[in-house]
Structure 1
Amino acid sequence: MNQAINFFWTTLCFGPVIICWCFADSLAPCYWFLAVGFLCLFIPMRWLQLSDKPAFYTGLGIKLFRKFVQNGDYVNRAIRKSNPAHRVIKGRQGPASYMKTLAMYHAYHFGCLVFFTLTAIHAFIQGQYLFAMLIIPANTLYNIYPIFLQQYNRARVAKVTGRQTI
């Protein structure tokens, strides 16, 4: 079920980006933008954490967004119907392992955020206004809110375990 959710959001949000590059005169900027996005994978999550307070992210509507994503409320509820013992964080090593997973998701979405943003700017400069206007909400749904969700989860785990996030 989690992979179906992943596939849906990835297809929906990468669609405008891929189609935009299909209509581009040159793919050279795409390669440069991918390289910059790749380099951003190595920026530590703690440098980008906006707040160590879960309430900050709640104010951004993250609880609504959390319902519709991988390992989100609806998916976990459905999995627990057939497996009541299912937990995202398991055992004593669970929080540390989960924090590593959050860092991986965060890095991926931050790299994509940079790539999508550069692509939208490029589309706008090239006069491809429709693509630019489609990529901006796709970037918000696929990258900005997932980054906020990872930061929210990191702040929640840190609060429960007593570890500092920033």
Structure 2
Amino acid sequence: MASSETTATPSAARLAFYNAVPSVLWSGLALGPLAVFCYLHMARPWLWGLLALSLLAYAVPRAWFRRWQLSRKPATYRHLGVPLINRVTQHGSLVNGLVRRHYPNYRHVRSGRRAVAALIGHSYHMEQFHVAALLFFLFAGGYAAAQGRWGWAALLTLLNVGYNLYPIWLQQYLRLRLNPSKNDASTG
């Protein structure tokens, strides 16, 4: 039975489980302290107002994300250590390696224009999520600093870099790798 398992493809449920683990882990580590700060120290009108303001990131057109991309060169992202982040994220090299132990033929990135287009579309969705979260973390950190809670401000800023800024850069880097000809073109 083990031999048939190695040639089959993993079920959607198994893939979801493997990919949920890093997602839940990183979200818990970042959102836990944020939730504690907001619950204990943020006035509710500010909380709801800043959250609503942050969610406006979902109204930003996709073309704008291309304009504020950090770089058109993968080397810039490699220099910042962005590929290291890809090791410990959902669909990252650690998760894919664990899946391939039982399913050696599994590949998250399938060939074909449609599959690549779907992954690029998903990367924009993930970037929108992290931009909205980055804004809320930024606003919460600013609120903490305005209240003189410097430890909270520093912690929220540090968490923001790890939980949002690097994942934003990771999505940009992955798009460069998925579609280098489009991203290496002129900035127009």
TM-score normalised to the size of structure 2?
0.82
Q: Which residue of 2 aligns with 1:48?
A: 68
Q: Which residue of 1 aligns with 2:146?
A: 125
Shift in Å at residue 114 of structure 1? 0.4
Residue of structure 1 aligned with 2:54, choices 32, 37, 42: 37
Counterpart secondary structure, 1:163: helix
Q: Which residue of 2 aligns with 1:113?
A: 134
1:12 aligns with 2:33: no
Which one is further off, 142-151 or 86-95? 86-95
Give aligned-pair identity as a percent: 29
1:163 aligns with 2:182: yes
1:33/1:115 contact within 8 Å kept: yes
Q: Which residue of 1 aligns with 2:93?
A: 73
Give the whole-Å Cα distance in 2 for the aligned partners of 1:30 and 1:119. 8
Superposition RMSD in Å: 1.4
Q: Deviations over 1:46-97 (max 9, x none)?
A: 1321112111100101122211111111111111111112222224111100
Structure 1: 5+ residue runs without aligned partners?
none
Shift in Å at residue 132 of structure 1? 1.2
Amino acid at match of 1:18: A
Which one is further off, 66-75 or 112-121? 66-75
TM-score normalised to the size of structure 1?
0.93
Instruction: Determine which structure has greater relative contact order: mean sequence separation of CA pairs < 8 Å that are 6+ residues apart, divided by chain length.
Output: 1
Q: Which residue of 1 aligns with 2:104?
A: 84
Give the whole-Å Cα distance in 2 for the aligned partners of 1:27 and 1:11. 22
Amino acid at match of 1:139: N
1:62 aligns with 2:79: no
Structure 2: 5+ residue runs without aligned partners?
1-17
Q: Deviations over 1:6-64 (max 9, x none)?
A: 11000100112111111125111111111111101222221321112111100101122
Shift in Å at residue 143 of structure 1? 0.1
Higher Rg: 2
Give the whole-Å Cα distance in 1 for the aligned partners of 2:69 and 2:53. 20
Give the whole-Å Cα distance in 2 for the aligned partners of 1:91 and 1:65. 23
1:148 aligns with 2:169: yes
Amino acid at match of 1:153: L
